[in-house]
Amino acid sequence: MKSNSTDLITARIRKLKRGGVFTPKDFIDLASHETVRKVLSRLTERGMIRRLMRGVYDRPASSKVLDGPTPPDPHAIAHAIARAHGWTIVPSGAIALNILGLSTQVPAQWHYFSDGPTKRYRWDGGTLILQHRTNKEVTGLSPKTALVVHALKALGKSNVDSAVIDHLRKALSKRDRLRALKEARYVTSWIYEIIKQLVAEEV
């Protein structure tokens, strides 16, 4: 194992925010898969990173309240797995509402739709389900646009009021809102009409 590869991989991990999740594929441009696997194994033994499940790791954050590492971020786990396989994923309605702050309910299972195969993953304290679905509400949407679409779908048209619209406008950057306007034109018409309201001031 070349020390230079170890240094490069370690440096990339140190650039991640605490709680960042990754797989060996995130370092395949730096070294061979076998070398990456060995480096990650050594860094796990040192306690620099944490192995969440086979082939999935994070750079754990610390909690004074828990007096130890915080639980891993399920959303980051889902995206790390999808990134490793080249899949597009979007959160189910309950997950989207939680991420956008429209609901404080923590799901028992983290459920996403994917254009890859249906898969189930488990780690200590959580379960991730990737359910195959290829349609206009999965493929071609950026992560933020997908969040908005599925959150609105979960709420239902009758439950979207001015408070929800104001919340989403604040939760999304101007760039995110304009991207949503461009990407979501083929989704359910009432959802697109609400997205148009989010960018009414920009267009």
**Residue ranges of domains in the chain:** 3-69, 74-198
- Strands 68-69, 62-63: pairing is antiparallel
Strand ordering across the sheet containing 89-91? 89-91, 110-114, 126-132, 119-123
pLDDT digits (tens, 9 = 90+) for 94-149: 999 999 999 988 888 999 998 899 999 999 989 999 999 866 666 678 889 989 99
Q: Tell me what the mean pLDDT of segment 61-70 comes to.
A: 83
Please state which CATH class domain 3-69 belongs to: mainly alpha
| Residues listed for the chain | 203
Q: How confident is the model at residue 164 (pLDDT cuts 50, 70, 90)?
A: very high
| Bridge partners of residue 90, in order along the sequence | 113
Q: Other C-beta atoms within 10 Å of 113: how many?
A: 22
Q: The whole model's pTM is what?
A: 0.82
CA dist 105 and 126 (Å) reads: 15
Return the pLDDT at 186. 87
